[in-house]
């Protein structure tokens, strides 16, 4: 049996849980930040059927060589704006991702991404660093949304 583990990432955003949930579940938002630095995820390569049992699929394209990586998942839980859970059945062990949106009641939301059944290859420092760059891209995207909305 291959070794599996778990990972947890936490980020705080100056945005409502509703906006952040929508960013994570709308192709027109996801296209701007999904995938690590060095990849592009075109809006027409994103499939979202936002319901338990529904499909979540993204096709990331390497900016360097044009190769593609498809992430296929099935939603297990969809509870706007608190929680989003999916399982990637094609990943050995069925990696499970749970995203929790915690309203900090001061205009900020903590987003906690918890993954279980994570294959050893995804646990490497390089893989974790790549995932972190995707979270960095999300940070920048949300900050840009806030800037366009102006002061409230």
Place of tokens 């995203």: 99
Number of domains in the chain: 1
Q: What is the pLDDT of residues 15-60, one digit of tens each?
A: 999 999 999 999 999 999 999 999 999 999 999 999 999 999 999 9
Q: Domain with 21 in it: what CATH number?
A: 3.30.530.20
Question: What per-residue confidence (pLDDT) applies to 150?
Answer: 58
132: left (phi over 0), alpha (psi -120 to 50) or beta: alpha
Distance CA 96, CA 80 (A): 18
pLDDT average, residue stretch 102-112: 97
Domain enclosing residue 62, as ranges: 4-149
């Amino acid at each position: 049996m291959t070794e599996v583990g778990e990972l947890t990432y936490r980020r705080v955003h100056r945005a409502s849980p509703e906006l952040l949930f929508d960013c994570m579940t709308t192709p027109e938002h996801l296209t701007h930040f999904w995938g690590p630095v060095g990849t592009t995820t075109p809006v027409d390569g994103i499939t979202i059927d936002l319901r338990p049992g529904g499909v979540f699929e993204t096709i990331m394209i390497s900016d360097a060589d044009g190769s593609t990586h498809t992430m296929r998942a099935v939603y297990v839980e969809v509870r706007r704006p608190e929680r989003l859970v999916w399982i990637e059945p094609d990943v050995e062990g069925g990696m499970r991702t749970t995203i929790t949106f915690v309203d900090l009641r001061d205009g900020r939301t903590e987003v906690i991404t918890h993954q279980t059944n994570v294959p050893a290859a995804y646990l490497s420092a390089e893989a974790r660093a790549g995932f972190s760059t995707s979270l960095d891209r999300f940070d920048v995207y949300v900050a840009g949304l806030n800037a366009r909305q102006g002061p409230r």
